[in-house]
Structure 1
Amino acid sequence: MFTQDPTTTTARPRTGDARRDVNAAAVLRAVLDHGPVARSRVAALTGLSPAAVSRQVVDLARLGLLHERTELASPSAGAVGRPQLPVDVDTGRIAVAGLHIGLPYTTFAFLDPRGNVLHRRELSNRGRTGPAVLRPLLERLPGLLAGAPDGRTVVGLGAVAGGTVDRERGVVVRHDPLGWRDLPLGALLTEATGLPVQVDNHARALAQAEILFGHPAARRSMVHLFVGHVVDAALAVAGTVHVGPASPTGDIAHLPVPDSDAPCHCGRTGCLAAAASDTTLFEAAAAEGITERPDRTALVAAVRAGDPRADRLVRRRAETVGRALGLLADVVNPDLLVLTEHFTSLDPAYLDVVRAAFARSSHLRRDADLVITQRRGADVLAVAAGAAALGALYARPVHSLTTSPRPHRPIPTAPSRRGPHS
């Protein structure tokens, strides 16, 4: 049973507290990027004094985010005093939970502070839409959260979905496939769990994950394209994911696809969301007799079995996606384009199709190698959900773990020996 930590408060941080959080975030990020790393190196990376770094390391270790790697200590010959111990992100004491709420199923997961998925479970939505999707999930969440691996303290919950999401208010403004309008998802989840909840659009959350744990170029500028039952994009510049006025990053779902006559929910035909969506792809596979019904697993099986009709459908979508990425690259000119799409993550040959279409359509003639796929495979939706919570944790670590109402468990003492990035 979770109990409320009596020391928590919802008061806004004082100026000194805010500065402390900025310094703590800088130290934590330096260790995330370079750990295990000596405190002196952290000071050089952050511009903080060695004394300030040591204070932050002590605080972050107390909160369960850092630990000393005693097994890596190597005192110099003739050195006097205690050798400096490298510090690393502690992945053994705390976790965040994540929910990716999609059309066919909801993914529930636990992630450690390095974004590694500790546990993942898919919960079928059984064709439900509207409030019927959320009711059984709210009932099951307390039991799911009680199963945190190895007794870790769960310090936050990320919840992501497609469509327009107001992350400041925790509201899903519009999700057409699920039939959601102005759904106060954050408030409902907080009431059900007692945890601090971060709600976001899944494309933005995946962009945040790439910035935290992925390709270094993502921190300069990137566009992320998500292709599933919904089609979403996110933009990040200088390590910050863009949120536009009224919450959307932008809406690429209705970009025209000239050779498509797929009907869109907006009433038109040939929109990118309809032409490239999983719904359209799976329905086409069933209509052509490739699968018995519109189903991802069945189409994947047909592709793996070498069915040329299945291969043709998937390649056709890959070309559509590549052309859309070419347009995005010409408009934004980012350092990196990241694609989350199921078949390109399964087979590099389909990524090659995307890159070829991108190269043909982009007027900037950028190197097609700047198009990459998410590297988390089957865990990608779990990572998206957890990244919403981890982004908040890395931005304000002290505030997140000391001033937010949350279920509380004592954080156990870290073992003295632990492998790299364990």
Structure 2
Amino acid sequence: MLERDQAVGLRNGRGHRGDDLRRLNTAAVMKHVFHHPGTFRSEIAAQLGLSAASVTNITSVLINDNLLEALPSPVGGQGRPRVPLQVDHRSSAVLGIHLGPRTTGVVLMGLDGKERAAVLVPHAGMGPGESIDLVVAAAENLVDTYAGTCTILGTGIATGGIVDREAGIIVDNPSAGWQNVRVMDLLRGRLPSPVILDNNARAAAQSELLYGNGRRTDDFVLMVITADIGSVMVDSGRIRSGFSQTAGQIAHLRVSDEPRECPCGRTGCLAVMASDDAVTRTAIEHGLPARNIDEVLALASAGGAAAIEILEQRNRYVGRAASSLLDIHDPELLVVAGTPAETPAFFGSLIAEVGKYAHAGHGAAGRVVLSSDHVFSLSLFAGATLVDALLADPLGVLGFGEGEGSLS
């Protein structure tokens, strides 16, 4: 299985030393070009301590496999023209799937983290098997319709709750009512391989590292506030999953004295005060014509005072939880993803609450930032897990066995 901190990446067992070295060097070159687009082969060789011949051979393989592309040479200069390189965002792509409790987003994503095509798949009230059948059909149609000659390198899937990435199992997704769902068994051979399953928060953190606030710092805590709630700590670029892969379960932090009961048996938990479902329920209790979070957001966008207050109150609850995370972990940044990021107009209420509750006060509040506000953000986050695996071991992804649909 792929260990997140392993350098070798997607492989079973170990090969010859030369093969391992080749894979490590290929990964180093791929990562370097990903983070430094427009770099030259000579620069890669000098900065990575590799020979010019090795870099030429590695980049040739990556170009032939549509992972890198050569850009036009700069005009002018003497001697042999130098050719800048960048990741090939046009010829290769990945599938990103956010397996939601009632609606799943499927996105075709370039290696630049940008959406090429996407679709929403409703499956409210369905079991995991029926839901996944619909998602697979939608993914197949998306690829057939929009991929063209593009190479699909694999599939990243993210969902809420507790996920055992190593075993490919959704251990517990309370919002969907799914427990011990062997997702990889249900998907085997049905989606582009390799397939990675992770939880929303870890996928979001991976996306931040590759495309977002992680480019500013590799020391941050990320909160995901949607129908599901979770968090993850990133320390020196490493995503901490925890001993039993359950780190970051913040849904049952107590953020209110209100007697609103939570399924955990306590009251005032973040899950029942600040999730998308909690916001919708509060709106209905106030007599608003809203059946889901999108309709609450629409009412607020139209200037509805009651809807605005409900969202601001939700953000205050999130701010209280964020204060605890800032006090405990003391990260350089705390990143908030999910619905609050889609409603930045109300972000001030979250910041004010952090300033009120965090030990460092307004100093801590200044370290809180928003993540992407894209409607398919969670699906793009899921795709980032596959891009990370590609960067860790390009040859392992390219040479993965046909039709396995699993990392094992």
Same fold (TM > 0.5)? yes
Correspondence 1:174 to 2:176? no
2:221 and 2:334 in contact (8 A); partners too: yes
* Residue matched to 2:57: 55
- Counterpart CA distance in 1 for 2:49 and 2:348 is 42
Structure 1 unaligned regions, length at least 5: 1-8, 408-422
- Counterpart CA distance in 1 for 2:346 and 2:373 is 17
Structure 1 residues 260 and 228, CA gap change in structure 2 (3 angstroms): farther
Amino acid at match of 2:356: R
Which shows bigger deviation, 269-278 or 311-320?
A: 269-278
* Residue matched to 1:364: 360
Correspondence 1:391 to 2:392? no
2:271 and 2:278 in contact (8 A); partners too: no
* Residue matched to 1:65: 67
* Residue matched to 1:280: 278
For the residue of structure 1 that corresponds to 2:166, the secondary structure is coil
- Counterpart CA distance in 2 for 1:130 and 1:403 is 27
Structure number with greater CO (CA < 8 Å, separation at least 6) is 1
Correspondence 1:252 to 2:253? no
Structure 1 residues 35 and 406, CA gap change in structure 2 (3 angstroms): farther
Q: Deviations over 1:328-367 (max 9, x none)?
A: 01111112211113244333x3122211211221113434
Question: How many pairs are equivalent?
Answer: 393
Structure 1 residues 39 and 141, CA gap change in structure 2 (3 angstroms): same
* Residue matched to 1:5: none
1:203 and 1:225 in contact (8 A); partners too: yes
Amino acid at match of 1:54: T
For the residue of structure 1 that corresponds to 2:158, the secondary structure is strand
- Counterpart CA distance in 1 for 2:116 and 2:84 is 25
Per-residue deviation at 1:314?
Answer: 0.5
Amino acid at match of 1:206: A
Correspondence 1:374 to 2:378? no
1:38 and 1:85 in contact (8 A); partners too: yes
- Counterpart CA distance in 2 for 1:243 and 1:108 is 25
Q: Deviations over 1:146-168 (max 9, x none)?
A: 33423211110111100011111
Structure 1 residues 53 and 269, CA gap change in structure 2 (3 angstroms): same
Structure 2 unaligned regions, length at least 5: 1-9
Correspondence 1:22 to 2:18? no
Amino acid at match of 1:357: E
Per-residue deviation at 1:261?
Answer: 2.6
Structure 1 residues 361 and 52, CA gap change in structure 2 (3 angstroms): farther
1:11 and 1:403 in contact (8 A); partners too: no
Compute the TM-score of the two structures, normalised by the length of structure 1. 0.87
* Residue matched to 1:413: none
- Counterpart CA distance in 1 for 2:52 and 2:259 is 63
For the residue of structure 2 that corresponds to 1:29, the secondary structure is helix
| Root mean square deviation of aligned Cα | 2.1
1:92 and 1:152 in contact (8 A); partners too: yes
Structure 1 residues 398 and 350, CA gap change in structure 2 (3 angstroms): same
Structure 1 segment 192-231 matched on structure 2, within 5 A: 192-193=190-191, 195-216=193-214, 219-231=217-229
For the residue of structure 1 that corresponds to 2:152, the secondary structure is strand
Amino acid at match of 1:282: T
1:30 and 1:45 in contact (8 A); partners too: no
Structure 1 residues 29 and 40, CA gap change in structure 2 (3 angstroms): same
Per-residue deviation at 1:115?
Answer: 1.1
1:109 and 1:119 in contact (8 A); partners too: yes
For the residue of structure 2 that corresponds to 1:95, the secondary structure is strand
- Counterpart CA distance in 2 for 1:218 and 1:297 is 31
For the residue of structure 2 that corresponds to 1:209, the secondary structure is helix
* Residue matched to 1:265: 263
For the residue of structure 2 that corresponds to 1:193, the secondary structure is coil
- Identity among equivalent positions (%) equals 29
Correspondence 1:150 to 2:148? yes
- Counterpart CA distance in 1 for 2:216 and 2:305 is 36
Per-residue deviation at 1:20?
Answer: 2.0
1:117 and 1:382 in contact (8 A); partners too: no
Amino acid at match of 1:284: T
Q: Deviations over 1:222-252 (max 9, x none)?
A: 1110011111111111222111122212311
* Residue matched to 1:309: 306
Per-residue deviation at 1:219?
Answer: 4.7
* Residue matched to 1:184: 182
Which shows bigger deviation, 144-153 or 323-332?
A: 144-153
* Residue matched to 2:6: none
1:218 and 1:335 in contact (8 A); partners too: no
* Residue matched to 2:3: none
Q: Which of residues 351, 362, 371 is equivalent to 2:347? A: 351
1:148 and 1:154 in contact (8 A); partners too: no
1:344 and 1:350 in contact (8 A); partners too: no
Per-residue deviation at 1:279?
Answer: 0.7
For the residue of structure 1 that corresponds to 2:157, the secondary structure is strand
